[in-house]
């Protein structure tokens, strides 16, 4: 298949090792402006640049966060922001030993000709943007594709367009020695059952890994960020923690090569307790059978209790930071099957 792209495999592997040392996981704090505003609105918080900055300052200055979090994924607005005392967020994180990462995709947009399906954009100018964020201090990155389950969907076209973009993004990251988080999220929205989520997730993974092979991605130098295999939020049948754990592990064993060092789950709208309990059950019940680290890269399942406690009021910062710390500590326990 021709010559491999030039990259420093050791740099990629070292970054991954540091991200997940001491049973740590990742904190996704890369909500786009729209998503962050939606969450602020739901919590009764004013939706302004300054409130987003204050909220992200609360997160990055949480005492002890580095005990549980090896890397934080930032949004492009956030990566250039500073604390009220004028210290760059990126410097606060780096000093604490938390590696900064950057969300590189430009969002999932309606896919022309394919109703209710989306394709993630952001490849144009990506090499230059990677170089810019690397100069700022980012050592890993994220790109999220979304796959919906419904009547007649996902289509093969939607899966193929999305995994093609994931592969090209991952290649550009690795060319720059930046670790790509490859995130194909099968959504929880809908009435589908656990088996349907299993089938779609397996199909997406198999097509994804064939595409990653075709585009010469170094599997040892990437992180996979999948959904858990779980029934849709509107499904009348919801499964036990052990059933979700078993389905997720079996699905990934069928479809994810052992060369991938780490799988860091998204929480996808599960409650914080559910997401942590599912991760715990996977590690508790299957740890000895797994070729990869199973860890977390949660946004809502780490942040939501803290956001609800903060309410946009600085008087609540300590309490919010404490909740953020506690949630991430529980996820570290879940990574070891000790939650
Ligand atoms: P959730 O954990 O809230 O699903 O977010 C993870 C993420 O980064 C989605 O892209």
**Torsion on CA atoms 271, 273, 275, 279, rounded to nearest 10:** 180
Residue 1 has pLDDT above 80, yes or no: no
The pLDDT tens digits of the residues spanning 71-102 come to 999 999 999 999 999 999 999 999 999 999 99
Residue 4 in any domain: the answer is: no
The pLDDT tens digits of the residues spanning 190-214 come to 999 999 999 999 999 999 999 999 9
Residue 218 in any domain: the answer is: yes
Nearest-5° Cα angle at 211, 113 to 3: 135
**Torsion on CA atoms 133, 134, 138, 142, rounded to nearest 10:** 70
Pocket test for ligand 1, best of 32, 166, 266 (most atoms within 8 A of CB): 266
Helix, coil or strand: residue 144: strand
What would the two tokens of residue 141 be? 């990155």
What would the two tokens of residue 164 be? 């093609």
Residue 79 near residue 134 (C-beta atoms within 8 A) = no
225 a catalytic residue: yes
Helix, coil or strand: residue 182: strand
Residue 2 in any domain: the answer is: no
Residue 19 in any domain: the answer is: yes
- The enclosing H or E element of 236 equals none
Q: How confident is the model at residue 272 (pLDDT cuts 50, 70, 90)?
A: very high
Residue 145 in any domain: the answer is: yes
Helix, coil or strand: residue 240: coil
The pLDDT tens digits of the residues spanning 119-168 come to 999 999 999 999 999 999 999 999 999 999 999 999 999 999 999 999 99
Helix, coil or strand: residue 235: coil
The pLDDT tens digits of the residues spanning 12-49 come to 999 999 999 999 999 999 999 999 999 999 999 999 99
Q: What is the pLDDT of residue 2?
A: 52
Q: Is 266 in the pocket of ligand 1 (CB under 6 A)?
A: yes
Helix, coil or strand: residue 27: strand
User: Which range of residues forms the domain containing residue 39?
Assistant: 9-335
Distance from the alpha carbon of residue 6 to the mean position of ligand 1, in angstroms: 31
329 a catalytic residue: no
Q: What is the pLDDT of residue 7?
A: 79
Pocket test for ligand 1, best of 162, 300, 304, 305 (most atoms within 8 A of CB): 300
Q: What single string gives the DSSP state of each residue in 74-140?
A: E-HHHHT-B-TTS-BHHHHHHHTTPEEEEE----EEEPTT-TT-EEE---TTHHHHHHHHHHHT--E
Nearest CA to ligand 1 atom 5: 299
CA–CA gap between residue 113 and residue 54 (Å, rounded):
41
CATH number of the domain at 124, please. 3.20.20.70
Dihedral pair phi/psi, residue 219, rounded to 5°? -65, -30
How many domains does the chain divide into?
Answer: 1
Q: What is the pLDDT of residue 229?
A: 98
pTM: 0.97
């Amino acid at each position: 298949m021709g010559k491999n792209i030039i990259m420093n495999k050791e740099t990629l592997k070292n970054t991954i090792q540091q991200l997940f040392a001491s049973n740590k996981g990742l904190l996704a704090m890369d909500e786009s402006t729209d998503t962050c505003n939606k969450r602020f609105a739901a919590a009764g918080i004013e939706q302004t640049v300054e409130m987003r900055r204050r909220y992200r300052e609360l997160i990055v200055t949480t005492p002890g966060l580095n005990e549980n979090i090896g890397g934080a994924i930032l949004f492009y607005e956030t990566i250039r922001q500073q604390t009220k005392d004028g210290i760059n967020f990126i410097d606060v994180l780096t000093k604490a030993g938390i590696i900064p990462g950057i969300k590189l995709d430009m969002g999932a947009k309606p896919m022309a000709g394919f109703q209710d399906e989306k394709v993630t954009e952001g490849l144009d100018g990506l090499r230059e943007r990677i170089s810019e964020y690397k100069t700022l201090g980012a050592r890993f990155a994220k790109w999220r594709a979304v796959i919906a389950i419904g009547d007649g969907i996902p289509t093969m076209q939607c899966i193929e367009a999305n995994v093609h973009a994931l592969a090209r993004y991952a290649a550009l990251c690795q060319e720059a020695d930046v670790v790509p988080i490859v995130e194909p999220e099968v959504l929880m929205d809908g009435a589908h059952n656990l088996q349907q989520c299993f089938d779609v997730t397996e199909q997406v993974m198999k097509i994804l890994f064939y595409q990653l092979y075709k585009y010469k991605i170094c599997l040892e130098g990437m992180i996979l960020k999948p959904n858990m295999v779980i029934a849709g939020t509107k499904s009348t049948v919801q499964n036990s923690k052990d059933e979700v754990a078993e389905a997720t592990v079996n699905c990934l064993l069928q479809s994810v090569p052992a060369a991938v060092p780490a799988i860091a789950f998204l929480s996808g709208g599960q409650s914080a307790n559910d997401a942590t309990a599912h991760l715990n059950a996977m590690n508790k019940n299957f740890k000895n059978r797994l070729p990869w680290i199973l860890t977390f890269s949660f946004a809502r399942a780490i942040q939501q209790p803290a956001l609800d406690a903060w309410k946009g009021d600085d008087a609540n910062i300590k309490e919010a930071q404490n909740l953020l710390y506690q949630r991430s500590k529980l996820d570290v326990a879940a990574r070891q099957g000790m939650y």
